Each structure stands twice: as structure tokens, then as C-alpha cells.
Chain A
Amino acid sequence: MSERLKKIFQSNNPKTKLVAYFVGCYPDYKTSLELIKKAIDNGVSVIECGYPTSEASAEGPVIKIAHDKVLENGDTLKDIIKLVSEIRNYNKEVGIVLMGYIANLYKYPISKFVTDISDAGADACLVVDAPHELKEENILREELNKKNLSLIKLIAPTTDDNRLKDIVKISSGFLYQVNVSGVTGDKSANETDVSNFVKRIQKSTKLPICSGFGIKSPKDAVKIANTGCQGVIVGSAFVKYIQDNLEDKDLPSSLGNYISTFTKELQRTG
């Protein structure tokens, strides 16, 4: 269990945290670092640093383009962990979660991955295609526990109550609530559905809930913040902003301004 994540979610400022997903090393290592620094400067509470895999099964077209670019550039999980250590040097308070798939984590291999992300100053990892039924998930969770790091687990609309109970038992840090059945950046969630979903999860746990998928604007973020979750997760919208403005000479600052439109709105929800 990560102490830093615990502290972040115990704090009441801001009441609803912004969790921002970026593809690590996208569009390249140096720019990626500057982008994430600006995100932190503009009030992001937790950075999800994505690492790519060619057969990623839950990514929509926006994040897939970014994944493919990083793979094409030849940046690996090792480079992305180095990026994490630079992010940690820049800021000691922000939460950092490595997020990706089991393919390259397995080959890293798992125990070395946990040592390296711990040394880099990460707080947790989230592996999209590693449900608790998977042996490698069990190994990973055990290794993370030894280092006081969290394994962030997903709860989907299809997750029934029995399964939900099994998942919260093994979760720490926060729960990643997937609002809609689909790939990233695709469908948007209905506010009432999310609200009912948050209540359903809260019946089983006191863990913080961060709600994601389909949050495309500050307005969407506020709507989701009002459902009672502790954090909103924005991914594709930020990656798309980067994608659409690759020619911008001061992309980090303009991304920072864009992100602040989210954090300012979320401040008001408190």
C-alpha cells in the first residue's frame, strides 16, 4: 500500500482529484517529461504513466496512435521507468502509477520491474489485462506488497457484486472505476449510471474511487465529480490534445493551460 497515495486521497484539497493519463515517452522522451511536469504544475494529483504494447486490447484509436509512435521510436518500458524517476525528482507529492499491459511487464521480468519502479519513485502500477485469475497478477501483487506499492485494480460496469468483493479485498491505493464497457476515448458515461455505480462500489469498500473512461471536457469532469467519486481520470482527451498540437512550439505550456481548465472546474466542486 502506497503511503503517498493514501496521503493524496486523505487530503481534502482538491476534493476531487484529477488523475491524468499520459503515454510515457510520447511524442518523445524529452517532450513527454516537459508535458508531465506542466501537468503537475497545473494541479494534477496523480499521473498515470502509460507504457505501450502492440496488442493492447483496451485502447481506442487516440491512445493506439501514441502507443505505436513510442514503439516505433524504440522507447521501452525501461525508458519509461527512467522517465518516472525524473518525474519523481521534479515533484515529491504527486502520485505516479505505471499503467499498461502484462506482455512487456512479464518479460521485464516482474520482480525486477517492481524493484525498478520502486527505486524510480512510483507508487503503484495498473495492468489492464491482468485480472486476479492470472498467475502473473498474483506474483506481481505479492512483489508490490513487499515494497509497499499498490496494485490498482479495475472495476467495470460488468463486474458483479461478488466479483467486486473479491477485487476490493486485494486492492489498495484507489479503485479505477471503468464507467462504460468499451475502449478508451470512445463512449461517454451517463451521470446517473456512474452515480449508481459509485454507490454500488461504496457498499463494499472505503477505498477511494477514481472514475474514468469517456471524460472529454471540464464539464464532463465536473459531472463525474458530482457522482461522489474521489477522483476523475482523463486520458484520451489529454493525449488527443498532444496529438493535435504536435507542431506547437510551446506544447507543454499550452497543455498545462488546457489541463488547468479541468483542475479549476474541479476545485469548484469542493
Chain B
Amino acid sequence: MTKNSLKSGPDELGYYGEGENAMGGMAVGETLMPALHELNKGFEDAIKDQAFLDEYAYYCKHYIGRPSPLYFAENLTKNLGGAKILFKQEHLNHTGSHKINNSLFQILLARRMGKKHLICESGAGQHYSATAAVAAKFNMPLIGVMGEIDIKRVNQNIIKAKHYGAKLKSVPGSLKEAITFAIKTWTSNPDYAYIIGSCVSSAPFPKIVTFAQSIIGKEIREQSMAQEGKIPDMIVGCLGGGSNFAGSIYEFLDEPSVKKIGVEAAETAALSNGTPGIMQGMKTYMLQSNDGSKSLGGSSLGAGIQYFSVGPMHSYLKNLKAVDYTFATDKEILDAYKLIAKTEGISAALEPMAGAAEVIKRAKGKSKDYLICLSLCGRGEKDLDTIQEHIGKDFE
């Protein structure tokens, strides 16, 4: 990797970029610092071990069902009348989202490091059910932490995780409260492995999660070359913490010809409306009170993108203007859901519909050979009650 590569970071201490603008770092209590250094070493050792990487590849294929297809959304393309739209079908993975790429990787890593117990947090419950599935497979007990608001709205994931044998701890609030409580739980049990769900919090988590999810972008390159004879002109994805989008674009970071657009939820658009701050283990853009004492709320119908902050690599890429970040409202998300359900027969999760809303805006007026790849990172089952409540009558 060259020094000027956007793929060369973060540095040893977890910083993306240099000086005042450096993002990331390690902002956690002393109790966890040794565990984080141990994890960093464990990760660096593991990715040099071909047998470990082969094991990950094996389970990616046979347990997750990778590669996920790169699908030509022909009817949507016709409907929008512009660019050619491809869906990276991460929702077809076992457990229904991209989350399992990371759960599998981190649990294999935890096993390699001799860990016996697991902790995770979750927003939409996709990470919780994915981690619970892999934990069951490898016979490791798991405690999941989720906010009460989310537990109510993504009940299917909660039920599935229960069947896989995981234990759930409910806390007031949503994803941000779940992350803070998961860190507390880990502080009380520093010998456990914390299987974080996104590329957020203290180093080395952003690096590890991005590594695990970068399989998405590698597959996009291979599949696009094989099917279309070229790589996409534009990659669009939704962000809460930003793992699915990080995984989709990482492969293409050093190729500025590939336009990259990340889409947050309108009310929690840290990259569009936030300021740099340090909370939950990392320096990054976030929505906070002026004095930095409080994280600020804001809701989205997509539980997984309702997060006041964002992974530090995205803040770094924003500062460099290497990636564009925008946001979508609940109405735009629901409209996109409706269009994709009707044109393609795909009931997608609401989170990637934030990305779809941007694709709808961008596709028009582009030439037919302009390729837009949307990361369709989750399926809709968990959101059916929410969708029914808001736009159920539109389908009658």
C-alpha cells in the first residue's frame, strides 16, 4: 500500500488522518485498554494466517451463502429511465443482512484468541440475530444489549436470537444507549469478546469491522467486471455506524473515478449536520449539544441508521471530500421501499431504502451505461409492522 493510499490507515493508535483532523483513536477507560491492545494484536496475527482466512472464506461460502449476487434491477432501471442499477444483494445472506460477515469474522477471531464469552449491541437487531446465529454455531454464550425502542420494533430478530440461545439485556433508548451499555458490560467482563456491530467505537474496532465487511466491495468488483465488463461508476449505501457502506466502498477508495455516496437518516445525519467530538470511544462527527456534554437524539424508521454518530473512517473520508455524504427522510425511505417492492418484488429493510432514495434521485438523466451499485444490506421482515403501519393502505 502506498503512503498516499486511502487504504493505508488507520495508524497504530487508530487514527485516520493526521493532526487536528485525525479521526478515531482510543477513548475508553483504562480497564479496557489492555483488551483493545490484545484484540489489535490478535487481529493483526490472524490476518497473516492463511488457515484462518481460509476458514473465514469457507464459512462465508457455506454458512452465509456468499458471494451475494450482484443483481441487475431491470424494472427499476426502466422505471427511473437513466443509469443502469445494480443491487448488491446482501439481504440474501443467512440471517438477512450484511451483519453476519462481521459477526462471523469476529467470532472466528475470538475463538482463535481463546475467548469463551461474547457480548454484542444492536440497533435493528440484525447484528444481534446474526451474532446469535454464529455464537450458536460455535457454541459460545452471548449477551446482547438493545434499546427498548428497538426491541419493540424489530421483534422478529429478537425471537430468532432467543431461539439461537442468546440472552438479551434491554436498556432505555436505542442504539447509542445500547453501545454505551455494551461498553459498560465489557468493562465488567474484560475477558469476554465484544463483537461490535459496526465500524465504530475505539480502535481497533473500526479497522476490524471494515476489514470483515470489505468482502462486499471485493465481490462487487469481480461480479461487475464479469457481468458488465467494468466496475461501477457510482456506489451508494446507507449509514448508521457505516459498516455496510465502508465494506462496499473500501475496495474502491483509491479509485476516485468511482463516485461514492453515503446516506444517513435525516434526523441523525452526523456527517451532514454534526461537529467533531469524542464520545463512545472515538473522535468523529456527531450530533451533540454545543458544550459536548450530551449526544443528541433524532429518530428514523430505520432502526439501524438511527445513530447520532458515525464510524471515524467516514469522518476522515468526508474531510478529504473523497466520499459524498447526504441523508434521506422517512418519507423518502418509504417511497423507495414502495417502488422497489412493486418493480422488483423485493421487500427490503428500511435502512438500505435510504440509499435507494438517493439512487432514485441520481439515476435520472444518466446514460444507460452508467452503472450505479446500491448495497441492499438487509431484508424487510423485521420492518413489516412499521411499513404496514405507515403505508399499508398504499398497497390495498
Contact = CB atoms under 8 A, between A and B. Distances in A.
A, B bound: yes
A163 B280 contact: no
Given A55-B176, A57-B183, A108-B291, A135 B25 contact: yes
Label chain A's interface by main secondary structure.
Answer: loop
Contacts of A57: 28-29, 180, 183-184, 187, 280-281
Contact of B30 (A59, A102, A135, A178): A178
A158 B189 CA distance: 11
Residue among B15, B35, B294 with the most chain A CB within 10 A?
B294
Given A55-B180, A158-B190, A76 B31 contact: no
A77 B291 CA distance: 8
B68 interface: no
A196 B29 CA distance: 22
A131 B278 contact: no
B187 A58 contact: yes
Q: Per DSSP, are chain B's interface residues mostly helix, strand or loop, or mixed?
A: mixed
B34 A159 contact: yes
A interface bracket (residues with beta carbon within 8 Å of B):
35 or more
A116 to B, nearest CB: 13
Contacts of B69: none
B27 interface: yes
Contacts of B292: 53, 103-108
Greatest chain A CB density within 10 A among B22, B31, B288, B293 is at B293
A54 interface: yes
Interface size class of B (residues with CB under 8 A): 35 or more
Interface in A97-143: 101-108, 128-131, 133-136
Contacts of B291: 76-78, 104, 107-108
A105 to B, nearest CB: 8
Given A129-B29, A131-B28, A181-B190, A103 B278 contact: yes
Contacts of B272: none
Interface string B277-297: 111110100001011111100
Interface in B18-75: 22, 25-35
Nearest to B201: A57
Contacts of A52: 293
A104 B25 contact: no
Contact of A131 (B26, B283, B290): B26
Given A129-B29, A158-B35, A107 B290 contact: yes
Contacts of A155: 30
B184 A58 contact: yes
Interface string A7-28: 0000000000000000000000
B13 interface: yes
Interface in B102-120: none
A160 interface: yes
B288 A103 contact: yes
B215 to A, nearest CB: 29
B187 to A, nearest CB: 6
A168 B27 CA distance: 19
Closest 8 CB pairs of A and B: A107-B292, A154-B30, A104-B292, A156-B31, A182-B188, A104-B293, A54-B294, A156-B30
25 contacts: A53-B293, A55-B280, A56-B180, A58-B29, A58-B31, A71-B294, A104-B291, A104-B292, A106-B278, A107-B277, A129-B29, A131-B26, A131-B33, A133-B25, A133-B26, A134-B13, A134-B25, A135-B22, A136-B27, A136-B283, A156-B29, A158-B35, A181-B31, A183-B187, A186-B188
Given A53-B293, A55-B280, A136-B27, 4 more contacts: A102-B278, A104-B292, A133-B26, A158-B31
